[in-house]
Every structure is written in C-alpha cells, then in structure tokens.
Structure 1
C-alpha cells in the first residue's frame, strides 16, 4: 500500500487519505496494542449511535500499526471558528449540543476515567510525592455516574459536512464523570484563550444545568494528569500553577477549586 503524502500529523500518528479512506499510521514509540485499543473505543462510540467514522480495518502497514476508517469530507468546526470569529458563540454552542448527546450515554464497557487519571497522576514526572497524594485523594473523593466521555473534546475534533457533524479522535474516551469531560475541554480552550474557555463553560452550564463549581472541582486533577502529556513548556507552567495553588490550599486551608 503506497499511501503518498500525509494530510495531517499528531503526537501519536500520521494521517493519510487513501482511496477515499482515512489511514491512521501510528508512530513507533507506542505499544503494539495502541491501534486495537483506539479502534475498540471508536467502535464502541459508533455502536452507541453517535456520528463517528466507521472503523473498516486494523492492520500493519510496512510494519507499522494502522487503523483504516471511513473518510468524512468537510471542515472542522475549529477551521470554521477561526475563519469567522464573529460567530464564535454559534460554533461553540453547536459543539456543546453534540457533547451533551455524548454525555447522555451511560457506559461501563470502556476503561474507567478514575483508573486512567490515577495512572497518569502516578506517572507524571512533573509532580512530587506530596502533590500526587493530594490530587489522588481528591480524585477518590468525587462520586459520579459512569457516562461516556470523549476525553479530548474540542472544535478541531468535530468535522462539519453539510448539516451533519462527525466526532473524531476517540483515543482518550472513558467511562467517567461528564463534569470532568467538560473541565478537560475548558482546560484545552484556556490554552488558546481564557475568554473562549469561559464562553464555553458558561454555555455548557446554561444548556446542562450543571454548576460551574461542580465542573471546576476537577481542574487540579486534570491539570496534574495532563502533565504526563507532551505539552509546551509555557502550558506546563500554567498547569503546575493550578496544581500548586490547589495543593497549597489543601495543605493550609481552603483553596480556589472547592
């Protein structure tokens, strides 16, 4: 299979368009189970009736793991957002309607969010022992229903085709707390613009009935877990500041995330 030039690249994979199908070829540093792991999550989301590209095959291509899936033609809501910032609220509102549909699904067949976050916190090279202990204690203290969470939900993972929106990139999906999923999106948008992040959070709360405080209780946990990712140094500094603020408050009194 001669794939030609890639149409995109991320931290974990290179994306190709081949014979009207998407071929996602994983990089060598990942475990051998990565393609099957991600494909299974995408298949579960598809089976739930969500608009998700259908997985067609999982195989090796030139010795590398790959997923072959349905090609969805269109532009991401992120591309549309940046081309027409005056309609920012429209695109974010549209994305929230989709996220709310994801969050309606009760699910236990995926990895539990708490297990995933615990692993990430324990393995974070940026957190010292006391930080990990405080964040893990906080993680274990939060009760929630296990619902489908995308884990990396933002405008660039939503493809607009005519009037239909398709949700891509399910590798971080889990059965977890929808409030954490919203907080994760808020944290990602804050990298771009705090104004955009606050707009998203306000609209989600208005549409869902959840309180801002319920969602932001997850902020220090998610900031700490995200430090296991390959993030730019300036973003890592901001994440550490969130963790430090919470941990100092927890050890010495009330903090800003309660």
Structure 2
C-alpha cells in the first residue's frame, strides 16, 4: 500500500461472481479478488480454510489478507499461482485426479478450527430445482437409492478454470463452495464437467486415475454421475452454463450411456436442455 506508485495492476479472467486483478510489485505477483457482483460469500471462512490447507501442504494459493474495500465489497488477497489450465492430455488429467483425491483424503479433524459448514444437499447445489418438477422427481428418486455421506472436505466446483498451472505445478482456487460433503458427488460433478467441456477421452483418464487412488463402487460412480448430470441440466435451463456446437450431443451421450439416466424420457429432456 505504501508503494502504490510502483504497483502494476492488470485484469485477469473474470468469473460470474467476482472481479479478479493481478497486482505485481517488482518480481512478486499477487491476486486480489473483489466480490462486486451478486455473490456475497463468507470471505473470512475462505481465508481461514486456505490458510489451514496451505499449512498442510495442499496445492492452494497462499492467503495473505481479506476484508472490505472502500465500496464495502468483500475482497481476498492471495499469492499469484499462474494461469488456468488450458491444454490437457491424459497425463495431466491423471495429475489433476490425484490432486482432487488429495483434497478428499484430507483429515477433517485437522480442520476443526475452520468450522467447515455442512449444507442441505438439494438446497445448496440445486436451489432452483423446484421450478422443474421433472428434474426434482428424478433427483429425489436417485437420492433415495443412496445414503449421502457429507463428512469429508469437498471443493464443490473442481473444473479447469479453478485449477492454475505454473511451471508444472497446479494450484486449486475458488473455495467458495468448500464444505463438508460427499466426495462421490464432488468427483462426479468434476467428471461430468470434463466430459462436456474437455473431451470424453480425457475425462475417462481423469476418472480412471481418481478411482485407482480413491476407489468408489461402479454403482455409486454411475449413480452420482447421474445426479451430477441433473445439476448441469438444471443450470442449462437457467442459461448458467456455456454451450458449444457439440455440447448437446455430449450431454445426450452421457445420458444414454448411464443406466440411471437412460430410464428418463430422453425426448422431453433433450427439448428442455
């Protein structure tokens, strides 16, 4: 702050929730995230969670400070750790799978002072689903087939835009959705996003590497992938997900190849996606 005239400030890729700027002083760079849009997260929680994870050697940004700016907007100040992952291959996808597995294997008893929240699963991840009775019916049906185990640390949105790369090192950012959750769902949501926006081949490599490190039964994998697909379809109906020329084909492939989803009325679903 005392060397303001020597700071180099540049805008970074913006998310749906906040503005992000890179601040460089001499040879060291930092990131300032400013929640100046609709989202109002608990930045204090994010800071303390990052601090706990960083101290335990997990691949997260080093938190430096948090608070409010002159406009009353919440801010988080961290280390700069590179740019979002753009190009991938099977080896890189395997590395990212091991990174997610390491998050899921973090002993939560070591994070007790952080007070990880636990939310109602449907209310948190499917907040608008009551407006879509067909999706709500499918979701409640799927959830009745399993018992949610919301007792482990999850990231909540582990996709490529939230993974930074710098000289071969990966850093997981955006812990807005960090919480006690079911790692089967966290893994499945990440896999579905990679299937849609990366490629089915690379997503398969991600899935194979993760399950080798953190085994989940085949039935649970298929069930939670179906549950995750419903979340993407819900977001799609509210125009909250990007769509390319092949996006619809990919999601329909996921539906038809999943034993739970293929029981749904594919024609009605495809019309509403």
Same fold (TM over 0.5): yes
- The 8 Å contact of residues 41 and 171 in structure 1, kept in 2 or not, is answered as no
Secondary structure at the residue paired with 2:212?
Answer: helix
User: Using the alignment, how far apart are the partners of 1:247 and 1:158 within structure 2?
Assistant: 29
RMSD: 3.4
Task: Please report the TM-score for the alignment, with normalisation by the length of structure 2.
Answer: 0.71
Counting only pairs closer than 5 Å after superposition, residues 16-95 of structure 1 correspond to structure 2 as: 16-18=21-23, 19=25, 20-31=29-40, 33-63=41-71, 64-72=73-81, 74-76=82-84, 78-79=85-86, 82=87, 88-95=89-96
Counting only pairs closer than 5 Å after superposition, residues 126-165 of structure 1 correspond to structure 2 as: 128-139=132-143, 141-144=146-149, 146-162=151-167, 164-165=169-170
Change beyond 3 A, Cα 1:197–1:131: same
1:187 is aligned to: 192
- The 8 Å contact of residues 179 and 218 in structure 1, kept in 2 or not, is answered as yes
Question: Offset of 1:41 from its aligned partner?
Answer: 4.1
1:249 is aligned to: 263
Change beyond 3 A, Cα 1:224–1:44: farther
Stretches of structure 1 lacking an aligned partner (at least 5 in a row) = 252-258
Change beyond 3 A, Cα 1:106–1:249: farther
Stretches of structure 2 lacking an aligned partner (at least 5 in a row) = 266-273
User: Using the alignment, how far apart are the partners of 2:166 and 2:45 within structure 1?
Assistant: 27
2:271 is aligned to: none
Question: Offset of 1:58 from its aligned partner?
Answer: 1.7
User: Using the alignment, how far apart are the partners of 2:127 and 2:173 within structure 1?
Assistant: 28
Question: Offset of 1:164 from its aligned partner?
Answer: 3.8
Question: Offset of 1:143 from its aligned partner?
Answer: 4.0
Secondary structure at the residue paired with 2:11?
Answer: coil
Secondary structure at the residue paired with 1:153?
Answer: coil
Question: Offset of 1:181 from its aligned partner?
Answer: 1.4
